[in-house]
């Protein structure tokens, strides 16, 4: 078990935010001849990473589809092959339900 601590061991804090004396001290803004270059490098890095992620996603999806197609083709055994299709015809059927003439 932990030893009990006396109340004097804890520090009481009022939790009031303290503002910096110099506002530029908190977040220096990039300035000078290389400032635009830093932003351009970051933008290029984000674009390249996004492109690479997209390429990887497409490759994974294509690979999964190829595996499924191979499994489907393998599932049809030699004895289960369907008859060869010689031709197909498509017909448009229009059905009307008529009421009585009364």
Express each pLDDT in 29-84 by its tens digit: 566 666 678 888 889 999 999 999 999 999 999 998 988 888 877 766 555 567 88
Task: State the DSSP code for 23.
Answer: G
Rg of the chain (C-alpha set): 36
Whole-prediction pTM value? 0.40
Task: Check residues 97 and 48 and name the one with the higher pLDDT.
Answer: 48
Q: Kindly give, in sequence order, each residue whose CB lies less than 8 Å from that of residue 12, ignoring residues fewer than 6 positions away.
A: none
The helix/strand/coil state of 89 is coil
Residue 41 CA from chain centroid, whole number:
24
């Amino acid at each position: 078990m932990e030893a009990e601590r006396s109340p004097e061991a804890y520090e009481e804090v009022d939790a009031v935010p303290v503002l910096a004396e110099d506002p530029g001290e908190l977040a220096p803004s990039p300035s000078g001849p290389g400032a635009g270059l830093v932003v351009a490098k970051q933008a290029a890095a984000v674009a390249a990473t996004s492109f690479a992620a997209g390429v990887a996603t497409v490759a994974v999806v294509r690979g999964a589809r190829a595996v499924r197609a191979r499994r489907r083709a393998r599932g049809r055994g030699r004895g289960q092959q369907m008859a060869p299709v010689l031709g197909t015809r498509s017909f448009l059927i229009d059905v009307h339900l008529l009421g009585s003439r009364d």
